[in-house]
Chains A and B, each alone.
Chain A
């Protein structure tokens, strides 16, 4: 694994009964990079995340992670070959879990939940542990720092179940950052947000990657809000993936190759519009309901 790389996946294969969801997917992510995972529904974005997070055991492939070990301040490079045996898969997962901050797509903060924003952030530090917490001073200092970094110190004492969707998303990003990860994994962080909230979340994620040098790996349907901040895009479709800078991946040649039929990519007033051949087989399904014959909406 090259210097500065925090995650590398090689030839990742995931099979569910009756179908192959990922078919040899490879990519790498460096520290401080913001990487967008793009693709239509059912393409395998969540499967990639769940594999990396250790929530799902890949059928085969290689995942390399650089993890901060809690007992050793030195950064260690860890390699594990996933060959289907429980022992090696577990070893991979254990190391990976220490290094990642995870933000699920939808977190249900019920109104009955008696938690303030700072309580949710506090759970990002040690919420997974048993027993009563120690080092109260250190934790409170860390919480204040994270709330400041994410730009929501004024929300610290607000009841989290009563915040807007955009505010809750920022709270969850603060929660993930509190664990001092070297990579953040965010599942559809822009879903169900209005444009203003989307802009705020994108700006926050850019600060996380560029100022704190924490790698940000996120999935999205639409690349457009992320174009100004994305260092690298991983486009996944039909179990295959293309990885690289936006202009090297999001072009007609690569997407046509990935889809197996003609796909056109246009620049329309700074926005990227992707159009598929209306006769282009099953991918045409994704265009339906998104306002335009043959338009692929990610």
Chain B
């Protein structure tokens, strides 16, 4: 059974505490077992976040992504209560919620928002109950904090193969449906007139999204995971004109933000106020936010410079124009 409270203790023991950690520097960072596990897990999560997040953002499913992560909290809490790894709970609930969202007969974006909102509200209530029960009737310490805010440093070696297997499933699933998803993103009827179903691709994608969110929930927590799914993709989408480049860049950016966040969390044991470490999830999400803001600044710079700054291809001469097509 996982003990969220042990994370801080094990990390502190692995690196030495306080000023000793500073003396160990980067070499101590790389030879710490919890850090190594966090880096491997974080890398897998970040790659999936880049792949899935790119499609989620340009398909307008950022709210669904956030909802799936919040809904997954109920699964994580149920897993703690049942005495199994939270990953199983996050993944099961994420998959069920994804199928429920895609199966709901919504005819408009407004309908979809209402359905998502209702499911989200219900799952929050269920999460509150399950977290209360887990906190009071199990010997799991820090259950609520662990489920909601995660901890990269609690990922065990035995969990890594499962994360790797889920990553493969996620990446292959998105690769399988990528073309149809892209076509359906500008009009689902363009898929239907070819005799194919846009909903099949949508369902496969949402399940992949649910699994990726589950992985991110384990490391960053149910509440913060959506930031890693959406942030890196949103940061690069306006800087490139190719889906492949966007996926690759978003993944690399997510990996970089995760690694830097883990390094800062390790170093934070020498930081005030208490010299007992800052939450890795906060540091990763803070980096995601900073990079996103910087990307928007770069976007503005492109407009001012006439579109000569960017990752690849495409004219940016009209970047300043609005989203509505004009004549």
Residues of A that sit less than 8 Å from B by CB? 53-55, 93-94, 97-98, 100, 102, 104, 107-116, 119, 123, 126-133, 157-159, 161-166, 168, 179, 192-194, 197
A128, B58: Cβ atoms closer than 8 Å: no
- List chain A residues, Cβ under 8 A from B234: 112
B-side interface residues, number (CB < 8 Å): 44
B243, A114: Cβ atoms closer than 8 Å: yes
In the complex, what residue of chain A is closest to B243 when comparing beta carbons?
Answer: A114
A123, B179: Cβ atoms closer than 8 Å: yes
Asked if A102 meets B189 with Cβ closer than 8 Å, knowing A116-B241, A119-B242, A159-B241, the reply is yes
Neighbour of A157 across the interface among B182, B241, B319, CB < 8 A: B241
B179, A133: Cβ atoms closer than 8 Å: yes
A163, B325: Cβ atoms closer than 8 Å: yes
Instruction: Give A282 to B202 CA distance when docked, in angstroms.
Output: 42
Nearest CB on A from B325, distance (A): 4
Nearest CB on A from B98, distance (A): 18
Nearest CB on A from B183, distance (A): 4
Nearest CB on A from B83, distance (A): 39
A112, B196: Cβ atoms closer than 8 Å: no
Nearest CB on B from A293, distance (A): 30
In the complex, what residue of chain B is closest to A113 when comparing beta carbons?
Answer: B58
Instruction: Give A159 to B60 CA distance when docked, in angstroms.
Output: 18
Nearest CB on B from A198, distance (A): 9
Q: Does more than half of chain A's interface fall in helix, strand or loop, or is it mixed?
A: loop
In the complex, what residue of chain B is closest to A111 when comparing beta carbons?
Answer: B323
In the complex, what residue of chain A is closest to B196 when comparing beta carbons?
Answer: A128
In the complex, what residue of chain A is closest to B322 when comparing beta carbons?
Answer: A111
Whether a CB of chain A sits under 8 angstroms from the CB of B199 is no
Instruction: Give A116 to B310 CA distance when docked, in angstroms.
Output: 14
- List chain A residues, Cβ under 8 A from B316: 159, 162
In the complex, what residue of chain A is closest to B200 when comparing beta carbons?
Answer: A130
B182, A127: Cβ atoms closer than 8 Å: yes
B57, A112: Cβ atoms closer than 8 Å: yes
A162, B318: Cβ atoms closer than 8 Å: yes
Nearest CB on A from B306, distance (A): 13
Q: What would be 10 A-B contacts, judged by CB atoms less than 8 Å apart?
A: A104-B187, A110-B323, A112-B58, A112-B238, A115-B243, A128-B194, A159-B241, A159-B316, A161-B323, A192-B327
